[in-house]
Structure 1
Amino acid sequence: MQLSKYIILICLSLVLSNCGKTNTSKQTGLTINTTAKSLMLGDTLKLSINNPKKLEITGVSYKMNGEPIVNNKVLNSVTLGEKTITAVVNYNGEAQTITKLIKVFNNSIPSYYKYEVVNTYPHDITSYTQGLEFHNGKLYESTGQRGKSKLRRVNFETGEVLKNINLDNAYFGEGLTIMNDKIYQLTWQANRGFVYDVNTFEKLSSFKYGKSKEGWGICNDGKTLYKSDGTEKIWLLNSENLTEQSHIQVYTEKGKIPSLNELEWIDGRIFANIYQKNGVVIINPNTGGVEGVIDFKPLRKLVTQHNELDVLNGIAYHPKRKTIFVTGKNWDKLFEVIIKKQ
């Protein structure tokens, strides 16, 4: 199986940055020793203090990303990505804080999924698709481009637009998701999302982003909202106040997956478009580990070729049919597919 080839083709322009960076004191020379600079999920993190000047150390306490951690910890219940190890070292009646960066990778190679097109439907060729989701059998779509951004309810079988509102020209529409009869729609660089009534499209409120500077894709598990920002990070938003509570970093066994775009929650996993790659990764939301990849690149050849044609973007799960719908930016077709693990 040419799995590594598919991973490279789809999404994995891996950026493996230096993860052994330390913050030490020139006076003491104390540094943190770890099992390795890079570890995998399930590895044991062994911690010790390098003490070249033979100081009398009376105590050491460790934290990982601000949370206490014990030595010889098995990394089987942590999220992946870059972590900051902090050690408070007590010596000679004094204390010094030192840090070291490590990275935790996934411990398995992503599975490769093939797809089969079971139906093809019309799609508005002028829609720069950013978000796609089903609710009560109707397809909801958010589109982008300033001056052209829209929120729509669509009959997916005919392409008929059942309801439409245009965003203000200042906003570049991005992903959407629906939870508790509310539509959550992101905008790109305005640091703002909107909340609408799912039936009337009445705008109920707006919310600002936190540490994530941009809005790309969004999905939900019925309780929590998950938001991408164009990096390897997916932010978890509190559904009550829409504040960012935490984030996961999406990693394979080799490195991080940047440019995460449109998101869809399917059977306990996050499916994510990779911007400019015409592919989708399947993510474990508990760890950020990539469990599967789907190469949808051949679909682009099945749509009308024109100057405005852009990449695959838009993935929606139909819970009753148990199929996945995908389209792209300025595509004139919407594809219903089933996927099979190879």
Structure 2
Amino acid sequence: MKKFLAALSILLFVACNNNDTNSGNISVEDNSNPPPPAINYSVVKMYPHDTSFFTEGLIWHNDHLYESTGLENKSRLVKTDLNNGKIVQESKMLPTDFGEGIAILNGKIYQLTYQQHKVYVYDLTTFKKIQEFNWPYEGWGMTTDGKHLIISTGSSNLYIVNPDNFQIVNTVSVTNNYGPVGKINELEYVNGAIYANVWFENIILKIDPQSGQVVGQINLQNLVQNSGITLNDPNEDVLNGIAYDSTKDALYITGKRWPALFEIKLNKQH
């Protein structure tokens, strides 16, 4: 996630004192379990991205991008044109809200908030707010498997949630060969797997949603450097945003206040 480096120590302290218990786990590497294999990719195209968008959630749906942006007094839900980055439709959040991950399911858009413990539900067509739920943890990323919502909270846990009443039906811990993987952030469900950003790391994990095991890893360390774009604040404007275009079988990747959005293709074996 986020937010500001000065707040990081506070977040770690809080994480150790709430009941989202896997936030700070540190484990010894299991040498019998090899590290997740690298997933190679190629950049297909770059598109413009609004540098005022502090990206927290990203979805490709019906030939448009849907994006949730963060920061108090700046958070909103937007629908944009991929080719020019212009806003087609938007809904501004309350000044005290910090927008987080989004998911589209059954004609509705679900939007998390960071520490307000609220989930807003909008009509997909009109962007009119039609419902509101409470959420006990911080809100970070969200996606859907077509039946349930899947939510990250900055810990190693993924919560499987009933979209009708927002009750947790299952909890999955994300693990690799070192043990639990914390700071799981923005999510995207793709062909039976969950792809996840890790806060402040230039990687995307491919996760088995049943076991929580990391089964692959995309290293995006050089994505920005090789593109020629410049970030105003590399310490804040981190990688965060994954959307899947099933027609192209491609991912759209961006970050907080990035001036560009990347269309990438993954190695076919993955």
For Structure 1 versus Structure 2, the TM-score category normalised by the shorter chain is 0.7 to 0.9
Point out 4+ residue stretches in structure 1 off by more than 4 angstroms. Answer: 105-108
Which residue number in structure 2 is paired with residue 294 of structure 1?
218
SS at 2:224's partner residue? helix
Q: Which has the higher contact order (CA 8 A, sep 6+)?
A: 2
Which residue number in structure 2 is paired with residue 325 of structure 1?
252
Which residue number in structure 2 is paired with residue 230 of structure 1?
154
Give the one of 64, 67, 71 matched to 1:138: 64
> What's the offset of the Cα at 1:174?
0.5
Distance 2:62 2:237 in 1: 29
> What's the offset of the Cα at 1:111?
1.2
SS at 1:168's partner residue? coil
Give the one of 111, 123, 126 matched to 1:185: 111
Let me know the Cα RMSD of the aligned residues: 2.0
> What's the offset of the Cα at 1:142?
0.2
Give the one of 164, 184, 200 matched to 1:260: 184
Amino acid at match of 2:237: D
> What's the offset of the Cα at 1:109?
3.1
Q: Percent identity?
A: 37
Question: What count of residue pairs does the alignment treat as equivalent?
Answer: 243
Distance 1:143 1:252 in 2: 29
Mark the runs of 5 or more structure 1 residues left unpaired by the alignment.
1-12, 18-37, 41-104
Distance 2:27 2:91 in 1: 43
Distance 1:165 1:235 in 2: 26
1:16 corresponds to 2:27: yes
Please tell me whether Structure 1 or Structure 2 has the larger radius of gyration of its CA atoms: 1
1:172 corresponds to 2:98: yes
Distance 1:131 1:328 in 2: 10
Which residue number in structure 2 is paired with residue 335 of structure 1?
262
Mark the runs of 5 or more structure 2 residues left unpaired by the alignment.
1-23
Structure 2 contact 231–237 (Cα < 8 Å) conserved: no
Structure 1 contact 219–227 (Cα < 8 Å) conserved: yes
| Structure with a larger share of its residues in strand | 1
Distance 1:305 1:228 in 2: 26
Which residue number in structure 2 is paired with residue 311 of structure 1?
238
Deviations 1:192-239 (A, max 9, x none): 1110001100001111114xx200000001101100000000001012
> What's the offset of the Cα at 1:253?
2.2
> What's the offset of the Cα at 1:107?
4.7
Structure 2 contact 117–135 (Cα < 8 Å) conserved: yes
Give the one of 122, 126, 129 matched to 1:203: 129
Distance 1:190 1:128 in 2: 17
Give the one of 158, 172, 176 matched to 2:84: 158
So what's the TM-score if we normalise by structure 1?
0.68
Structure 1 contact 14–254 (Cα < 8 Å) conserved: no
Which residue number in structure 1 is paired with residue 171 of structure 2?
247
SS at 1:300's partner residue? helix
Structure 1 contact 235–244 (Cα < 8 Å) conserved: yes
Amino acid at match of 2:27: L
Which residue number in structure 2 is paired with residue 121 of structure 1?
47
Distance 2:177 2:46 in 1: 35
So what's the TM-score if we normalise by structure 2?
0.85
Distance 1:275 1:254, change over 3 A: same
